[in-house]
Amino acid sequence: MTYRLLTGCFIAFLSCVGLHEARGASEEHLIVAGRHDVRVATYQDIARIYERFEHFPQAAKEGLSLHFTGELLPDHDYPSKARLMVHSRDGDIPLFFGQDRDMHFPLTDRLKAENPPVLQTEAIGHNVRTELSLVVALPAPQTFTGTEARHWLRQVNACIRDLTGAILSWFMPDAHRLKIDIAPGANFEAVTSGTVRVLASNVSREPMTILLRPQDYAEDTVFRSSKPFGRVRVKIPGEAYVTFTPDR
């Protein structure tokens, strides 16, 4: 399991969340009930990231939840095709399902104590890469305001300051963009002082993700969609990817 950081100054933030470089000498292959599986992580490798998020100050994380969104490289396919499993004593627990790109990680004290391996059971030779993001609990399904958006960004910046300290945080980029999932057939608009501006129209049959910088609009702007948002995420400063690779 490796952690790829695309912005150097974000290293301090991720290291505080418990990320580390995988190490060892060789790939570990396992034969499980006739399958040829590869170990790509341990349970605690992933659990530590969630646990660190839970230790954020309550005011900083309120209304936010940590998510891993995956893709199977190199073709950006559904991560479920790799069949990543927590291989526990009580049976295998899948981490991805069907066309859902979100990782569903089972957080339990029993599994933490057992610390079973995470196995890749299909598409051996291809890796699942996940992006970390913070998903917002929207107060309304189809609208939010510029004021609310700025509050979410300040929350993430407060998390960074809490983790790294005030001095180090000066050298790290602030969170300043949102990732917004627009439903198929929906229009996304910004309404400021009665003036309507269409920001995106999704004419496809699949959700469309756009980036929004709230600071480019007045605080009293209302952002609205003609259909409920899929979700709204705060884009973590830099790029934070966790790639499930064979243990080496």
Q: Does 43 share its domain with 80?
A: yes
Q: Does 12 share its domain with 124?
A: yes
* Structural domain boundaries, residue 221: 142-234
Interval 141-166: pLDDT, tens? 999 999 999 999 888 777 766 554 44
What's the pLDDT band for 105 if we cut at 50, 70, 90? very high
Residue 7 has pLDDT above 80, yes or no: no
Query: What confidence score (pLDDT) does residue 16 get?
Result: 43
The two structure tokens encoding residue 171: 């050298």
Phi-psi region of 239 (alpha: psi -120 to 50; beta: other; left: phi over 0): beta
Interval 24-61: pLDDT, tens? 333 455 555 556 799 999 999 999 988 888 888 788 78
Query: What confidence score (pLDDT) does residue 32 get?
Result: 53
Higher-pLDDT residue of 33, 11: 33
Q: Does 128 share its domain with 162?
A: no
Interval 115-128: pLDDT, tens? 999 999 999 999 99
Q: Does 109 share its domain with 205?
A: no
Any idea what the Cα angle at residue 116 is, between residues 114 and 118, rounded to 5°?
Answer: 155
Q: Does 9 share its domain with 130?
A: yes
Query: What confidence score (pLDDT) does residue 28 get?
Result: 54
In percent, how much of the chain has pLDDT > 90? 62
Interval 220-245: pLDDT, tens? 999 999 999 999 998 776 667 889 99
Residue 179's SS3 state is strand
Q: Does 62 share its domain with 32?
A: yes
Lowest-confidence region among 157-161, 167-171, 244-248? 167-171
Residue 3 has pLDDT above 80, yes or no: no
121: number of Cβ within 10 Å? 18
Query: What confidence score (pLDDT) does residue 95 get?
Result: 98
Higher-pLDDT residue of 16, 40: 40
Global pTM reads 0.78
Q: Does 113 share its domain with 17?
A: yes
Domain count, the chain: 2
Round to whole Å and give the CA distance between 149 and 231: 13
Query: What confidence score (pLDDT) does residue 88 get?
Result: 97
Query: What confidence score (pLDDT) does residue 156 get?
Result: 79
Q: Does 117 share its domain with 157?
A: no
| Burial class (CB within 10 angstroms; exposed 0-12, middle 13-18, buried 19+) of 22 | middle
Q: Does 118 share its domain with 150?
A: no
Residue 22 has pLDDT above 50, yes or no: no
Smallest CA-to-CA distance from 41 within 118, 116, 104 is with 118
Q: Does 201 share its domain with 153?
A: yes
76: number of Cβ within 10 Å? 10
Query: What confidence score (pLDDT) does residue 81 get?
Result: 97
> Mean pLDDT over residues 63-77, rounded?
94
Q: Does 160 share its domain with 84?
A: no
Q: Does 207 share its domain with 123?
A: no
The pLDDT mean for the chain works out to: 83
